[in-house]
Chain A
Amino acid sequence: MSAANNVLQVAGMSLDLGGRAILRNISLDLGRGEFLGIIGPNGGGKTSFLRLLVGLLQPTSGKLQWTSVASPTPRIGYVPQKTMIEAHYPLSSIEVVRQGGEGGWPVFGARRKRLFQRSEQLLTRVGLVEQMQTRVVDLSGGQQRRLLLARALMNDPEILLLDEPTAGVDTRGQEQFCEIVHELSRQGITVVLVSHDIPLITKYADRIACISGGVHWHGAACDLDDKIVHAAYSCELERYQTRREIEPPHVHDAGHSHGHDHDHGHNHH
């Protein structure tokens, strides 16, 4: 990956929370339009890593720098692992999506019309236009995830950070979600997706980083094998199947659009 095409540089970054070391010496680059999948065991620091990227946590040491973006603080779309939506939350789906735009003042006239049109477009894009007047709490888990994705896109993000967006979603919902994200990545949006679903993540991501206190391994998705997964998760994963088992390495689409140069994995341990 050329330095000019980088959007993120993380060098020697560590995070301590409440006196406990959560992440140690993380170094990672991210290219424009790249789809990075993050895997790792529970408590390994994946969510903390995303919260660092999004600015909700500050690193204890090391460097985290956004580069080659329009401003020093890039526009980030974020879909968290959990939201605080309660059963009585009254707002409709389209109202929640509209909230994703920037600005504090109420909008009127042409700006209001644009805001409304954009929120409808995004709901159409994620397949929820039929549910736009439905209360957000009445949507299914998978629909809520797609709604949060539409909300994250309201801000025209350059970077999209998704924390286990497919957890608890049925297979069809997972595929739908990842197809949308994959298309966004092809349009030039940089995507970082955290998931435990290794077959799914290896199917869509360009590169995988395995985080367990630090970057245990990172490399091209096609280079992930069961030894790496086994070492990171410290357990047998019987249902795990790598892309290498689905398709031999030479079949991998060499012309895949993002042009990263991490063709080989880098084992940090």
Chain B
Amino acid sequence: MFESITSFAEYDFMRRALLAGLFLAVTCGLLSPFVVLRRLSFSADGLAHASLGGLALGIFALNLGPNPTLPAYIISFLFTCVVAAAMAYISGQRRISSDTAVGVCYLAAFSLGVVLLSWKNRASGHLEHFFFGSILAVNPLEVWLLAGLALLTTLFVLRCWRWLGSWTFDEDLARVTRVPTFFLRYGLMLLVAATVVLSTRVVGVLIVTALLIIPGVIGMLWGRTMAKIVVLSLASAITSAITGLVASNSSGRIQPGPIIVLVGFLLFVASLILTRWQEHRQPVPVGPAPAPEPKAVPIALKR
């Protein structure tokens, strides 16, 4: 185990994998609570699958090998944004529900990706890497892009901190208190799109979806304030990423991506059991709570 940890300092590719994992964990840990609270989990999953179509389109159009370049990532990002817009447009039609719209769009985009990658013979053998990623093969460009994304996400969450909290409660109420809900909605979806595009090859479609959902749920199980939820989400995402990388390196056989998800899942199960146990010890009173009379003392409502 100790050798496995020291190997991160010895080899460049191990250092890059660790940095990529950390940056991705920061991004997903910050976005996850808002994705879950705004009920965007399925949309995030859909975009993650759709990004495969975008990446395949980039590789196909630029005639690349299995390693995408910056232009391929840009094509993939634009494609994923188009899919997100299509999901929003079809959801707006009265006769189609939003989950159906997400399902239809992502399945089409995902299938396009598989067709294009299969057509391009040399890439078809690496389809598995797009599902589970190959974090140990991450290149310096991808590390820089992930670092930039983590920084952008941190700035977005800090700037919109109180707006995001209000928006998760009720969109109409947020609009009345002058929260820029349009900016929040599209800002969050663009960050999710960028995250899934950059992560598809690094940790894979399935893992990035898990990282966008599980940490937020763990935070929600424990936290009663937005700050606590986000800190716990961040902590569980980073713990999953580092533990997964170390455990994978120790085993020498298993890909880190699935282990990262399994560690996150174990943290989720432990949180679920412990919070249930805690609630059982301090049960919520059943029935109407004794409503104290509103205080008669008037308070100055104008500052």
Q: Is the CB of B294 within 8 A of A95?
A: no
Number of interface residues of B (CB under 8 A): 41
The CA of A104 and the CA of B159, in the complex, are separated in Å by 6
Interchain nearest-CB distance for A204 vs B (Å): 15
Question: Is B175's CB within 8 Å of the partner chain A?
Answer: yes
Q: Is the CB of A90 within 8 A of B163?
A: no
Q: Is the CB of A105 within 8 A of B170?
A: no
Question: Is A113's CB within 8 Å of the partner chain B?
Answer: no
Question: Is B48's CB within 8 Å of the partner chain A?
Answer: no
Q: Which residues of B lie under 8 Å from residue A142 when comparing CB positions? A: 288, 291
Interface centre among B39, B291, B299 (most CB of A within 10 A): B291
Interface 0/1 of A203-246, CB less than 8 Å to B: 00000000000000000000000000000000000000000000
The CA of A76 and the CA of B175, in the complex, are separated in Å by 11
Q: Which residues of B lie under 8 Å from residue A92 when comparing CB positions? A: 224-225
Q: Is the CB of B176 within 8 A of A99?
A: no
Q: Which one of A19-27, A28-36, A150-158 is at the interface?
A: A150-158
Q: Is the CB of A189 within 8 A of B294?
A: no
Interchain nearest-CB distance for A45 vs B (Å): 17
Q: Which residues of A lie under 8 Å from residue B176 when comparing CB positions? A: 54-56, 76-78
The CA of A103 and the CA of B174, in the complex, are separated in Å by 11
| With A125-B294, A138-B284, A180-B294: A105-B162 Cβ-Cβ less than 8 Å | yes
Question: Is A12's CB within 8 Å of the partner chain B?
Answer: no
Interchain nearest-CB distance for B175 vs A (Å): 6
Within 8 A of A (CB), among B160-178: 160-163, 165-166, 169-173, 175-178
Number of interface residues of A (CB under 8 A): 60
With CB as the reference atom, state the residue of chain A lying closest to B165.
A99
Q: Which residues of B lie under 8 Å from residue A100 when comparing CB positions? A: 166, 173, 177
> Which one, B172, B177, B223, B302, contacts A90 given CB within 8 A?
B223
| With A105-B161, A133-B224, A142-B291: A84-B301 Cβ-Cβ less than 8 Å | no
Residues in chain B within 8 A of chain A (CB atoms): 37, 39, 158-163, 165-166, 169-173, 175-179, 220-221, 223-227, 229, 284, 288-289, 291-295, 298-299, 301-303
Beyond A99-B169, A156-B302, A156-B303, 6 extra complex contacts between A and B, CB < 8 Å? A90-B220, A91-B165, A104-B163, A105-B161, A139-B289, A146-B294
Give 5 nearest A-B pairs by CB, closest first. A127-B294, A92-B224, A99-B166, A78-B176, A106-B161
